[in-house]
Amino acid sequence: MKKILITGGAGFIGSHVVRRFVTRYPEYAIYNLDALTYAGNLENIKDIEDNKNYVFVKGDITDKEFVDSLFYEHKFEGVIHLAAESHVDRSITDPLAFVKTNVIGTMNLLNAFKAVWQDNWEGKRFYHVSTDEVYGTLGAEGLFTETTPYSPNSPYSASKASSDHFVRAYGETYGMPYVLTNCSNNYGPYHFPEKLIPLFINNIIEKKPLPVYGDGKYTRDWLFVKDHAAAIDLAYHKGVNHETYNIGGFNEWQNIDLIKLLCSILDAKLGREQGENQKLITYVKDRPGHDLRYAIDASKINTELGWKPSVTFEEGLEQTVDWFLNNTDWLKSVTSGAYMKYYDEQYSER
């Protein structure tokens, strides 16, 4: 069986990618490597844990000896790398943690992969999952394309940009076959409620204030997580070596409009009066270095690989809200303890 390593598979996007690969490709042995940080949760992939072609490995990608020995033992022919510190706000308070996992951790994987395969790259692939935030910010017009120069503004995006560059450099310098994708903001089931959509769903359910940064005019391009997982599947199998593909749904929303939409959907679902949830909106001090607008031009993956989102934003959001309403135990379990401490520190001074 071909062994494929997926890193970060207990996290939000990784769990959808692992589930997709385990269920669609019985001919692969899928190894899910995850350190189970605050963002990783085995409940996210509980439904597939008994599958014959699935193995969970608890481990830290910053631990070079551990990563080297894992690759030496299993000789993974493919790597799909998602493990990362992924939250911009946390990168502002602790940038070094982002360098360790996102840069050093990626380097450890690249070096271990290279050590095993550098004399025979044929049929091997290192797939790096990255973000549109590496491109910096857009003004009112234009879209990020694959040739937009990198201009990261947050410690998170700087660390992702750095890892992207190393992946590319290993392709150029050592001939390592790689594919890189830069995707817009994801949303969907199992999204950790520190990010905008699940945070607001959780706060609306609990009738807590909805903290909106600045004037709420920041614009993001949203994609349903299962569509991202499908794009990763396609680019992993059909993408051209040494190519980058941008992934996005041509779906831009100003934060405040999105928040009002969520308020209205949840007014209806929770049996509250229309307009009631909007009263929870509270403007808070802005995030430093906040990028005004991200928007992806996904034409290349659309035309060259034939990928398109399978759901509209309205459909995806409805599925997401329903999932959170039907999985309140999951939501409660991830918002207790350490989450509350983080939440209080994050929003108490704003």
Active site (catalytic) residues = 132-133, 156
Asked if 34 touches ligand NAD (CB under 6 A), the answer is yes
Contact residue for ligand NAD among 61, 70, 201, 321 (CB under 6 A): 61
Which residues, in sequence order, are CB contacts of 141 under 8 Å at separation 6+? none
Is residue 62 within the footprint of ligand NAD (CB under 6 A)? yes
Site for ligand NAD in 117-136 (CB under 6 A): 129-131
- In the bound state with ligand NAD, the residue whose beta carbon lies nearer, of 225 and 277, is 225
| Residue 284 C-beta: closest distance to ligand NAD, Å | 21
Q: Which of 4, 14, 67, 324 binds ligand NAD (CB under 6 A)?
A: 14
Is 301 exposed, middle or buried, given 0-12, 13-18 or 19+ CB atoms closer than 10 A?
buried
Binding residue for ligand NAD (CB under 6 A) from 32, 53, 101, 106? 101
| Alpha-carbon gap, residue 245 to 243, rounded angstroms | 7
Q: Which is nearer to ligand NAD, 7 or 255 (CB)?
A: 7
What does the block give as tokens for 230? 């499908």
CB of 122 to ligand NAD, least distance (A): 27
**CA-to-CA dists, residue 204 to 39, 198, 201, 233, 268, angstroms:** 21, 10, 5, 34, 12
Interface with ligand NAD (CB under 6 A), residue from 3, 23, 25, 36: 36
Asked if 252 touches ligand NAD (CB under 6 A), the answer is: no
Output helix, strand, coil percentages for the chain, rounded to the nearest 5.
45, 20, 35
Q: How far is the CB of 106 from ligand NAD (least distance, A)?
A: 9
| Residue that is written with structure tokens 């949830």 in the block | 277
**Site for ligand NAD, residues 137 to 196, rule: CB under 6 A:** 160, 183, 185-186, 192
Handedness of CA 346, 347, 349, 350 (dihedral sign): positive
Residues 200/262, Cβ–Cβ less than 8 Å: yes
Q: What is the DSSP-derived secondary structure letter of residue 99?
A: I
Nearer to ligand NAD, 202 or 277 (CB): 202
Per CB under 6 A, does 241 bind ligand NAD? no
- If one asks whether residue 221 binds ligand NAD (CB under 6 A), the answer comes out as no
> With contact defined as beta carbons under 8 Å apart, do 82 and 231 qualify?
no
Query: Looking at 31-39, 46-54, 235-243, 285-293, which segment touches ligand NAD (CB under 6 A)?
Result: 31-39
Is 330 a binder of ligand NAD (CB under 6 A)?
no
- Taking CB under 6 A as the criterion, the residue among 83, 88, 112, 259 binding ligand NAD is 83
Q: Which residues lie closer than 8 Å to 210 by C-beta, 6 or more apart?
A: 200, 203, 204, 259, 263, 277, 280, 281, 282
3-state class (DSSP) for residue 280: helix
DSSP letter (8 states) at residue 28? E
Q: CB under 6 A: which stretch of 37-45, 237-245, 313-321, 326-334 binds ligand NAD?
A: 37-45
Q: Return the number of the residue (124 or 160) whose C-beta is nearest ligand NAD.
A: 160
* Angle between the N-to-C axes of helices 255-269 and 196-205, in degrees from 0 to 180, rounded to the nearest 10: 40
Positions in the binding site for ligand NAD (CB under 6 A): 7-8, 10-14, 34-37, 39-40, 60-62, 82-86, 101, 105, 129-131, 160, 183, 185-186, 192
